[in-house]
Structure 1
Amino acid sequence: MQNAPGEARPATVAVRYRERLAPSLWLFLAAALGGPMLALVFVPAGSAVALVIGVVATIAIIALMILGSPRVEVDGRLLRAGRAWIDASWLGEPEIRTGEEARQARGPALPARGWHLIRGGIDGVVVVPNIDPADPAPSWTISTRTPDRLAAAIDAARAAATTSA
C-alpha cells in the first residue's frame, strides 16, 4: 500500500523512529569543493564577486544534498521509506543485515520486485517481508545507520497494529 507523491498521507501518531538518509561526511566534503571551483570561474569578474558566488554555491549544494535526502520513519502503525508508506499490519518480521549480509541484501539477493530505499555509504540494511497478497512488492529493503533501532520500531508498530485490529 503505497501513496502517490501528490496524495495525502495518513494522520501521524507518536514517532517511534526517524532517520534522514543524508550522504556521508566524505560526500559533503567533496560537494563543498564545487563552490570554490565555481568561484575560480568568476575571479576575472572580481575577487569579491567570486568569493560571494563560491560561498553561496557551497551552501546551496550542501543544503540541496540534505533536503533531497529521503527519510525513514515509523510512526503509529506506519512505515514510511522515502515517499512510500505501508501499514505495519502488512509487515512480517524485520531482518537486520550488516557487513557482508548487507552487501548481499543490497546486491545479488535484492528482490527485483521489492520496494528498495538503498543509499551508498550506509552499511546497515533492514529487510521487511510484505505479507499483503494484493501488493506486488514481496519485501521492503531499507538502508539505515541504526538497523537495530529501525527493526525494533517496526516490531513495535506491528504489535500496535495487531492489538488495535
Structure 2
Amino acid sequence: MPQPAPAYSERLLPGPGGWSAAAAFAVVLGVALWPVDDVLSISTGLVALVVLVVLAWWTSPVVSVGTGPDGQPVLRAGRASIPTSLLGDVTVLDRAAMTRELGPSLDARAYVCLRAWARTGVRVELDDPADPTPYWLVSSRHASDLAAALVAAGAASASAGGAGTAGSSPDTGRPDLP
C-alpha cells in the first residue's frame, strides 16, 4: 500500500546567499584555471557548480509531519523522527525568539535541527519521561504551517508566543537517531 503524502514537508535548502556563494566559488575556480586552458576552465567551473548544487540539495534536511511505518503520525527533522503522540507544547518562534532559544535559553540536551538560513522555527516539548531530551528546536521557513501540521497530527494547540499541548503516550516510542 502506498504511503500517504505528508501533512507538511519542507526541505531546508540554502537561501539566495548560499546559492550565490556556490556560483561564485565555481566562477573563481574557473577563472583560476583560465591561464591553463579555457576549455578546462569552463568545464571545471560547470562541474564544480553542479557538484555544489547537488551537495547543497543532498545535505539539506527535510522537516515533515506525516505517517510513520506503523501508521501513526510522526515528526521528522533531518534524520531523527518521533511519534507526535510523544510531543507536548508547540511554540512558533520568530527570528528573535529563535535567536534567544539558540543562545542563553538553550538546553544542551535539546535536539536541534538548525539551518542558519531558515531563521524561524518551532520549539516542540517532549512528553516522554523515558527520554532525556526536553524539547526539539526545528528550523523552518514556514514555522506556523509546521506548527499547524503538528496540531493537526495530535497537539491540542500552538501559538506564536504561547504553547499548546499534545496528546501523550510515554511508552510508545522514542526518536530514532542514527
- Residue 127 of structure 1 aligns with an amino acid whose one-letter code is R
Tell me the distance in 2 between the aligned counterparts of 1:44 and 1:25.
30
Tell me how many residue pairs correspond in the alignment: 152
Partner residue of 1:15 out of 6, 16, 38: 6
1:24 maps to which of 15, 27, 42: 15
Aligned to 2:163: none
* 2:42 pairs with 1:51: yes
**One of 142, 146, 165 as aligned partner of 1:150:** 146
Partner of 2:158: none
- Quote the residue 1:118 is aligned against: 114
In the TM superposition, what whole-angstrom CA distance separates every residue of 1:116-145 from its partner, at most 9, and x where no partner exists? 011102121200000111111010100100
1:92 is paired with a residue whose SS is strand
* 2:86 is the counterpart of 1:90: yes
Give the alignment of 1:27-46 within 5 angstroms. Answer: 27-46=18-37
Deviations for 1:14-54, whole angstroms, at most 9, x for unmatched residues?
31000011111111101211112211232233101211111
Q: TM-score, normalised by structure 2?
A: 0.79
Q: Which amino acid aligns with 2:8?
A: Y
CA distance in structure 2 between the partners assigned to 1:125 and 1:15 by the alignment: 18
State which of 53, 70, 78 in structure 1 corresponds to 2:61: 70
Q: Confirm or deny that 1:109 pairs with 2:105.
A: yes
Q: Which runs of 4+ in 1 moved over 6 A?
A: none
What is the rounded CA distance, in whole Å, between the counterparts of 2:21 and 2:141 in structure 1?
21
Q: Could you tell me the percent identity over the aligned residues?
A: 36
The 8 Å contact of residues 106 and 118 in structure 1, kept in 2 or not, is answered as no
Q: Where does the alignment leave 5 or more consecutive residues of structure 1 unmatched?
A: 1-10
Are positions 1:129 and 2:107 aligned together?
no
- Partner Cα separation in structure 2 for residue 12 and residue 153 of structure 1: 17
Higher-helix-fraction structure? 1
Does the CA contact (< 8 Å) of 1:12 and 1:75 recur in 2? no
**What SS class does the counterpart of residue 45 from structure 1 fall into?**
coil
C-alpha separation in 1, matches of 2:103 and 2:23: 30
Superposition CA RMSD, Å? 1.9
